[in-house]
Structure 1
Amino acid sequence: MQAKYHKLTKQLHQSIAIRKDTRMAFFDHWHYHSELELVYILQGKGTRFIGDDISPFNSGDLVLLGAGLPHVWKSDDVYFESNSKNKVSAIVLHFGANFMGENLWELPEMSSIKELFQISPRGVCYHLPEGHTVKMQLKKMLNQSPFTRLLSLLSILNKLARIDKRSVLSGIPFAEHYQKHQSNRIDKIYDYILSNFDNDIKLEDLALKANMTPASLCRFFKQKTRKSISECINEVRIGFACKLLIEDNFSISEICFRCGYNNLSYFNRQFKNIIGLTPGNYQKKKSLFEETKSKD
């Protein structure tokens, strides 16, 4: 079940696309696109699949998706019943990262929005109360002129960037690309891990790439990322394991070895620690895609 690339269409001479989507049920293809997406669920409940995260969704949820992050929302089974009178509804907003030009985000006043864009490839969920200004602004945007929409989106992003109560959804490596870190050394470390996670990564080789001693590398990495190198490697490997569990039909033991592990028990423990489910239970959730698709 490979994620499909969607090329989104926008109205001529407009950099923002917004719509109110009302239908019997949510369930499109597992897909990604080059634009960011902001989704406000007005009505409905079910399960959302965002990168390697599988979580329930409800009315009122607000989610920001970065470019390249595979996703789909699937309504609960009751919405697919032939005699169902239930409906779902959402406001969906698409925009490019440079919808106001490349240089704007370099201004000091835009630093918080720039940081929000840097974590958006993992997906960010907000649980805001009804009547929150962001939700009210999104509803008003449906009837605004293109220029006013531009200003409204900038205002919304500024507010979202300053809200501390938010959840980052997907593992770092699930998106096709990853955001560059400010430090060149951190870049090199992440590049090496992402290129070699399916092999045995030796600390000495990683330190050589960063031009540091193993001990100084461990201190530096912990200081910059607030996690150990082994934690990062496990996150990358488990993120890739989730991708295989969702998109392919490999056995769990085969996925274990494809992700760089050589011990199935250790793989299972790391998976449970990071994802909160065993690989087997996580794999069962994949059927939420396939059961409904078989009815299409």
Structure 2
Amino acid sequence: MKPLLFRIPKTEVESFRVQVDDLPHFYDTLHFHPEWQITLMLEGTGTHFVGDKVARFQPYDIYFLGSNLPHVFRNDKEYYTSRLRAHSVSVYFRGDILGEHFFDIPETQHLKILLSESSRGFRIRNNEANALTQLIESIAEKQGFEKLLTFLKILDEISVSPQKEFLSSITYQNTRKELDNQRINAVFEFLMQHYAREIILDEVAEIANMTPNAFCRFFKLRTRKTFSAFLNDIRIGHACRMLQSGNSSVLEICFASGFNNVSNFNRQFKQRMKMAPGLYLRQYDSAR
């Protein structure tokens, strides 16, 4: 599949766009657009790929994505075969939304910093609704000047949030080369479909139309991770989801996530989650 340069629809009566998505699953192709994007997840779980970062998303996560930052939110497999819904509220806007120099005045310097920081993309994780998620959700119902004030309030609240978690690495370079994006998108799509089985380097390199050695160099340069580490990130993310569901044993989850032995699964899980799978399950159960 080819990564798309999105054209965000805009009319003469709005300076920024608010979009509510309530679908079987989110759009699942890597893409970018010149607008900044704020997205609140209301329903749906899955895996995000932002710049060079792959991780899980969940309800009440808030994303702030910079201009032309490649990204995709791919729902879990069951969203494609069930009646589950993916529901989000997004705000798309340009840097000159209130004039060329609006973010240069003293009162908006903190917002100018916010826009600059978003070139890497960041996320605010929330386990439940709060004042900020309610504010973002409410903008879909606002009109005119009240809508604009709500937008500015959202920016202000996000800028002072202590929970901002940067996504792409500080060394991430957005090359925006069509062929590079096309290759990464094809690999990402393949891994999301087949992470639960054994995957060998040669077949993934073939998908990218590269030799294994060239693919390894390309992939590390593009994602700042080795291919095996990236694949294990995806597998551990899905293992966490299965642990949270509480319907399978650690041993079952190990093999269902694509690991062929428990010791490696435990090691990879602890490396990423800073705890063993059993402790993760107990902590999650106690928090419910």
Q: Give yes or no for TM over 0.5.
A: yes
Deviation at 1:133, TM superposition (A): 2.0
- Flag the 1:128–1:91 CA change in 2: closer, same or farther, 3 A: same
Relative to structure 2, which stretch is displaced further, 6-15 or 250-259?
250-259
So what's the TM-score if we normalise by structure 2? 0.64
Deviation at 1:176, TM superposition (A): 4.2
Cα pair 1:174 1:243 within 8 Å, conserved: no
1:254 corresponds in structure 2 to 214
Map 1:110-125; keep pairs closer than 5 Å. 110-125=108-123
SS in 2 for 1:148: helix
- Flag the 1:252–1:271 CA change in 2: closer, same or farther, 3 A: farther
Residue 139 (1) aligns with residue 87 (2): no
SS in 2 for 1:111: helix
- Flag the 1:176–1:15 CA change in 2: closer, same or farther, 3 A: farther
In structure 2, give the amino acid aligned to 1:173.
Y
What CA distance in whole angstroms lies between the structure 2 residues aligned with 1:42 and 1:79? 15
SS in 2 for 1:142: helix
What CA distance in whole angstroms lies between the structure 2 residues aligned with 1:176 and 1:64? 20
What CA distance in whole angstroms lies between the structure 2 residues aligned with 1:130 and 1:257? 40
1:169 corresponds in structure 2 to 167
In structure 1, give the amino acid aligned to 2:150.
S
The sequence identity of aligned pairs, in percent, is: 23
In structure 1, give the amino acid aligned to 2:61.
D
- Flag the 1:280–1:2 CA change in 2: closer, same or farther, 3 A: farther
Cα pair 2:53 2:167 within 8 Å, conserved: yes
1:159 corresponds in structure 2 to 157
- Flag the 1:29–1:258 CA change in 2: closer, same or farther, 3 A: closer
Deviation at 1:2, TM superposition (A): 4.5
Deviation at 1:109, TM superposition (A): 1.8
What CA distance in whole angstroms lies between the structure 2 residues aligned with 1:99 and 1:9? 15
Deviations 1:186-242 (A, max 9, x none): xxxxxxxxxxxxxxxxxxxxxxxxxxxxxxxxxxxxxxxxxxxxxxxxxxxxxxx99
- Flag the 1:133–1:258 CA change in 2: closer, same or farther, 3 A: closer
Deviation at 1:55, TM superposition (A): 0.8
Cα pair 2:60 2:129 within 8 Å, conserved: no
Deviation at 1:250, TM superposition (A): 2.7
- Please point out which of 91, 103, 106 is paired with 1:105: 103
- Flag the 1:285–1:164 CA change in 2: closer, same or farther, 3 A: closer
Deviation at 1:129, TM superposition (A): 5.2
So what's the TM-score if we normalise by structure 1? 0.63
- Flag the 1:119–1:176 CA change in 2: closer, same or farther, 3 A: farther
What CA distance in whole angstroms lies between the structure 1 residues aligned with 2:98 and 2:132? 19
- Flag the 1:252–1:51 CA change in 2: closer, same or farther, 3 A: farther
What CA distance in whole angstroms lies between the structure 2 residues aligned with 1:80 and 1:63? 23
* Superposition RMSD in Å: 3.0
SS in 2 for 1:117: helix
Deviation at 1:37, TM superposition (A): 0.7
Cα pair 1:52 1:242 within 8 Å, conserved: no
Deviation at 1:26, TM superposition (A): 1.6
Deviation at 1:100, TM superposition (A): 1.3
1:77 corresponds in structure 2 to 77
- Please point out which of 89, 92, 97 is paired with 1:91: 89
Unmatched runs of 5 consecutive residues or more in structure 1: 178-240, 260-266, 287-296
Give the paired residue count.
210
In structure 2, give the amino acid aligned to 1:12.
E
SS in 1 for 2:56: strand
- Please point out which of 210, 217, 227 is paired with 1:279: 227
